[in-house]
Amino acid sequence: MKYRNLGHSGLKVSEIALGSWLTYGESTEKQTAIECIDEAYNLGVNFFDTANVYNRGQAELVVGEALKKYPRDSYVLATKVYFPMSDGPNDRGLSRKHIMEQCDASLKRLGVDYVDLYQCHRYDENAPLEETLRALDDLAAQGKILYAGVSEWSAAQITHAKAIEDKRNLRPIVSNQPIYNMLVRYIEKEVIPTSEANGMGQIVFSPLAQGILTGKYKPGQQAPADSRAANEKINRFIKGYLNDDVLNGVQKLDNIAKSIDANLAQLAIAWILRQPNVSSAIVGASKVSQVRENVKAVDVELTDDVMKEIDVVLKEIDGFVPAW
């Protein structure tokens, strides 16, 4: 495994992180989820990402149970706050009340005294930004969180937050967690430059585009029976990718991967890690074998010639991929 600093902070995180969105506590059996976490840990992954809203706390329970056997200082644990946890009017968003209460609830479910990274899962237009940032700063002062991050914030929102941090001398936000993969690249234009200028690193999710960039989905064919696309509970995020123009392009990317003795998933992750502002790529896994294969991406080197081949294919696909 290889490690990078989380933004401009001193925290080292593995280039591959293991996430629990759409899987742990929901579609993946608990024992299998624990086996995936164990395998990742044994392969050098030290970064584990979850959120309170993932199956209403069930993912945090599974992640906490899996990690409790390991020394707390040996891994980096991240969770999030924002989405509704009940029908209550205050049980959502980024108010001080919700942040403080949900941090305590997450710590209890995870079975830890602190989380390394606490992230605002989205931007909250209904909560004053200074209130949100002060709440995060207070949690850090209390030792309940070590670092604060955000997810899917725009460049303007990041810039506004940094201005408040500087004015009020608050602890800085160190990371942003956006979607980023070969097919969805919106962060390259403004988010990455703004983040880099403000000392923030990207922790990207969906690096394999919900499995599209594994090559398992073929143009003109039905989705495999055991795939995410065939699972009615969790396939809502993948349907937009399933058109033949995209899938034909993916087959070309698969051929490029084979030409460098890699599989498509490894190529796709290595392509993400080419970005110096990316601190880590979060992979999901419902099988131990997927963890093993994805971790190998850190050793895949993309030459200039290979990058040129990839760019040609991505330009062909551009326009057929739905906006995120």
Residues noted as catalytic: 54
- Residue 260 has, within 13 A of its CA and on its CB side, a CA count of 24
**Residue 270 structure tokens:** 């290595």
The tokens describing 90, both together, are 């205050």
Give the length of the chain: 324
Q: CA 238: distance to chain centroid?
A: 16
8 Å CB contact between 201 and 7? yes
**3-state SS class at 210:** helix
Residues paired with 281 in a beta bridge: 16, 204
Taking the C-alpha atoms of residue 211 and residue 134, their distance in angstroms, rounded to an integer, is 38
Category of 100 on φ-ψ map: left (φ > 0), alpha (ψ -120 to 50) or beta:
alpha
Q: Which amino acid, residue 88?
A: G
Residue 143 CB-density burial (10 A; 0-12 exposed, 13-18 middle, 19+ buried): exposed
Distance CA 34, CA 109 (A): 15
Whether 278 and 202 have beta carbons less than 8 Å apart is answered as: yes
Structure tokens at 261: 């003795």
By CB neighbour count within 10 A (0-12 exposed, 13-18 middle, 19+ buried), where does 217 fall?
A: buried
Residue 324 CB neighbour total at 10 angstroms: 16
Question: Which helix (H) or strand (E) segment is 293 a member of?
Answer: helix 288-295
Residues in Cβ contact with 123 at an 8 Å cutoff, skipping those fewer than 6 apart: 94, 150, 152, 153, 154, 157
Name the nearest CA neighbour of 228 among 250, 252, 209. Answer: 209
